[in-house]
Structure 1
Amino acid sequence: MTDLDERKRTASAWFKSLQKQLIAAFEKLEDDAGPLYADMEAGRFDLEEWERGPNQGGGRMGMLRGRVFEKAGIHFSEVHGEFSPEFRKQIPGAEEDPLFWAAGISLIAHTRNPHAPAAHMNTRFVCTTKTWFGGGGDLNPMLDRYRTQEHEDTIAFHKGMEEACAKSPSGDYAHFKAWCDEYFWLPHRNEPRGVGGIFYDHLNTGDWGADFALTKAVGEGFLSTYPTLVAKRMDQPWTDADREEQMFRRGRYAEFNLLYDRGTTFGLKTGGNVKSILSSLPPIATWR
């Protein structure tokens, strides 16, 4: 086994482990929901194995439609194959050799309660003739009064991401935060998708251990931060006006994922599982 093979195995095993931990945390929130959800049963993830193609890997899709989470997806994948000719120029190292390997975890969460923020997180390890890590996490409050940098939920989430970056010399919170703000921007609306977080891509500092440590810390930071925010908000009563505002904000979320999200493009152009790729879309949304 080569060093690269061992790195692939190690990264893939971590993503699988993180998926299990996140699923357990989300299902606990479903169990802990208060009287507002008394007429609804606690949700559980439906897990579905899928294959990209013969001897091309696949993944494990996890979907939850519950009482706290109106829709949530926590997906693991490990795939390999060959990039299409039209896509090779967009991927580092793929013009020299179109073969690739990629593993990662992707999470989207759309809460039922408008007071509880939606969120997104993913981390991945990609190999062509080059190798790199990418990922991050961002918070998406549904009500305008929560959508400020001064709000306590925003501060808590960013603190979790900053602490994750501090755990590895590869972490650069200020840079990754700015990158996130730039990436999760809807130019046609001239507004951000949410209140940010961190985003990084093509990370290869030359120290694989440090880069992997950062990627693990981001997943762990999200695990320790986001469920806590949901637990704090999920039992707050909401109004019809709150729900209407949530539906409108979900429309903005959908616009970004369909028009600008790199993960959506990468997945669809590499023969990924369409169900898991498009599971990022909210269950119900409105436009006005």
Structure 2
Amino acid sequence: MSYAYRHCVLIPSVLAPRYSTSALGCLIKPPYRPPAILSTSTEPTSGTALRDMPGIVDASVDLRHLNPQEWMSPSVTPLDELANGLDSSFRAKIETLCMQLQGKLCREMEKIDGQARFRVDKWDRKAGGGGISCVMENGAVFEKAGVNISSITGTLSQNAVKEMRVRHQELNVDNECNFFACGISSVIHPLNPFVPTTHFNFRYFEVIQSDGRKSWWYGGGSDLTPYYLFEEDARHFHEQLKAACDKHDPTYYPRFKKWCDEYFFLKHRGETRGVGGIFFDDLEGQSQQQVFEFVRSCAEAIIPAYLPIVERRKDTPYGDLEREWQLVRRGRYVEFNLIYDRGTKFGLATPEARVESILMSLPLHAQWVYCYEDSKDPRNQNLIEVLKNPREWL
């Protein structure tokens, strides 16, 4: 099958051999390969509804004890520190949650792809902490996918404290503010144009001032970016996220769905990046355990929200026309990430930034065709309509 790549822009990617040493961290072969942790259904027939698929048997994350054999790499924080902190430390809880989700998702994706494996890159940050970047490229199902974890510590600059005071008035610019930040972020770009791209991230931020006062908050979300609109896929994705939200607060889903539509909006194009999902930031509460449990529920919803859609669409036949449209739409994805995304801009402006991990979200291939005629395929209009006028899917 040949593809039209005129006006094609190749996005920088990690091109080093699978196992080597990088400048910023040690690239290691995944040390753990136990039997499959999750199981999926066989390929559904075209008439099978997503809700009827057996799907993922268990996407829950067990935080009662550590399961390092399920991880893609040793953790950033020493294992004994995580084990000792599971009962009382939210630093340990969030890093363990990230490690478990990364391991489950990466292994399940490798099983679905059947060809490519994740390159695992464990890196250290001189100022404190480090991360684990898992990247898959040129697979049979996933053209590029990244699942990154970072767990870092340090001292905030006065400018950073001033910026944070806009939303966190308790911070004092005259105090030295030490911070801990931990999160997981993923972007998955499938090869087949009928399989949507997805993104998610969940993060925890903690600040301890020199007078001993501690502030904390969580952020995160997940969204879906299709190239061809299948309403049942959008509904399924939103159903899973709503169910996770409703376990904790019935107002969460409508609030965070609206926030997602507003955040993932390309002002210069007048359209959203995709069909949305949920997005939240600076989430606090009287009970940190309750807020953490909400984030955990959202994290556990990722696999059942997305992978059944991949299974359903990955073998759909396509040709040059569909591939060209996919690459044009990916160009819009790149535009959002480089122009608007706060995380990308913040990361690139951070000292000792690990650029390869920050730009992991960009696809292997995208294109910008001058005055592209999207009307030449009526299927494109179905998608454009919902991008310009976000819908309530449930």
- Give the structure-2-normalised TM-score: 0.66
On the 8 A contact 2:86/2:93 being kept in 1, the answer is no
Task: Report the AA paired with residue 368 of structure 2.
Answer: W
Relative to structure 1, the CA distance from residue 269 to residue 127 in structure 2 (aligned partners, 3 Å threshold; closer, same or farther) is: farther
Matches within 5 A, 1:1-288: 6-31=89-114, 42-54=115-127, 56-65=128-137, 66-91=139-164, 92=168, 93=171, 95=173, 96-129=175-208, 130-143=215-228, 145-146=229-230, 151-169=231-249, 172-270=252-350, 271-288=352-369
SS at match of 1:87: helix
On the 8 A contact 1:170/1:210 being kept in 2, the answer is no
CA distance in 1, matches of 2:267, 2:320: 29
Relative to structure 1, the CA distance from residue 152 to residue 98 in structure 2 (aligned partners, 3 Å threshold; closer, same or farther) is: same
CA distance in 2, matches of 1:105, 1:183: 19
CA distance in 2, matches of 1:287, 1:3: 48
CA distance in 2, matches of 1:100, 1:165: 28
Task: Report the AA paired with residue 58 of structure 1.
Answer: G
On the 8 A contact 1:22/1:223 being kept in 2, the answer is yes
CA distance in 2, matches of 1:281, 1:113: 17
CA distance in 1, matches of 2:246, 2:120: 34
CA distance in 1, matches of 2:182, 2:172: 16
Relative to structure 1, the CA distance from residue 171 to residue 262 in structure 2 (aligned partners, 3 Å threshold; closer, same or farther) is: farther
SS at match of 1:128: strand
CA distance in 2, matches of 1:269, 1:57: 18
On the 8 A contact 1:247/1:284 being kept in 2, the answer is yes
CA distance in 2, matches of 1:28, 1:63: 15
CA distance in 1, matches of 2:158, 2:96: 30
On the 8 A contact 2:264/2:272 being kept in 1, the answer is yes
Q: Relative to total residues, which structure has the larger helix share, 1 or 2?
A: 1
On the 8 A contact 1:63/1:71 being kept in 2, the answer is yes
Task: Report the AA paired with residue 363 of structure 2.
Answer: P
Instruction: State the identity as a percent.
Output: 40
RMSD: 2.0
Runs of at least 5 residues in structure 2 that lack an aligned partner in the other structure: 1-83, 209-214, 370-394
Question: Post-superposition, which runs of at least 4 consecutive aligned residues in structure 1 deviate over 6 A?
Answer: 1-5
On the 8 A contact 2:155/2:179 being kept in 1, the answer is yes
Report the alpha carbon displacement of residue 43 of structure 1 after superposing the two structures with TM.
Answer: 0.6
CA distance in 2, matches of 1:260, 1:285: 18
On the 8 A contact 1:50/1:273 being kept in 2, the answer is no
- Cα-to-partner distance string for 1:152-197 (whole Å, 9 max, x where unaligned): 1111100011011012249700000000000000011110000000
CA distance in 2, matches of 1:123, 1:28: 24
On the 8 A contact 2:223/2:276 being kept in 1, the answer is yes
